[in-house]
Structure 1
Amino acid sequence: MIREHYEAVKALIPNTFTVHLFDVPASPSFPYVVVWGDPGQHYSETLDSTPHDVLLNVRATCVGANYASCLIVLDAVRAALNRKAPVVAGRKVHEMVQSPLSGVQPDLSVTLPNTGTHPVFAVDEYELRSEPL
């Protein structure tokens, strides 16, 4: 059930650029987005205490070959995800709310082969809550 929530978030992001779910290939094309996050928590707000509800902290890492392309991806992803509710079969998913996790910064562990520069990334987090219909 957790994976379906992540796939539903990924489906909201426009295919203007590549969107990866959890893993990035060794030589990615820029710009791109990685949708990932925590394994979530099942909880209950009912008297029987049976965990039916899901809480996930979904993260979107927006990556560009430079600051300008990273900001373009970041704007597009925020427009696609913030205050939006992904569709998951059999679930009522509440609107997600965006919070920044990191500023826009270079990834000094990676050097782009043709330019010798570093790709730039930013990470946002979206709280996702769902419950059975």
Structure 2
Amino acid sequence: MSVQDNKKNAKQIVAVRGVNKIELILHKGFNFKWEIIDPEKVFKLALAENDETIGLMALALFDSEQRVEIKLIESSAGNIGKNKFYSRIAGCLLAHAARMAVTRYGATAAISLVPKTQLINHYIREYGFQIAGKSLFMEGKSLIKLIDEYGR
């Protein structure tokens, strides 16, 4: 899995892993107060070379619906907007959620999220989400495409 280093115009290897409460308290450079979230539900995207956290995501599992919901997703402060250091952060985190859903639920897996209004079209255009009321969702071949594009 990799992000694009926009300054060096090169790929940087990243990994997604769980976090503990101490890490959530110590994380700097994020707007949301992540320490209030149960750490068992939070995953970080970190650069392989130095373990710098560049993205965080909170998930909820809905086994009865065979769905993983992205409750919250955020790139670190230096990775937002036109002058961001790294691209593909959200895609890598979403691909991790998709892989988790497929691993857990198989062919009937789905992921969903309730995005900020200004991001709805971005999630549809960039990642292939579909509208479902106030939520966006993805299932089937779209999940596999997301994993192939961002999760390898």
TM-score interval (norm. to shorter)? 0.3 to 0.5
- TM-score, length-scaled by structure 1: 0.36
Q: What is the TM-score normalised by the length of structure 2?
A: 0.33
Point out the structure with max Rg over C-alpha.
Answer: 1
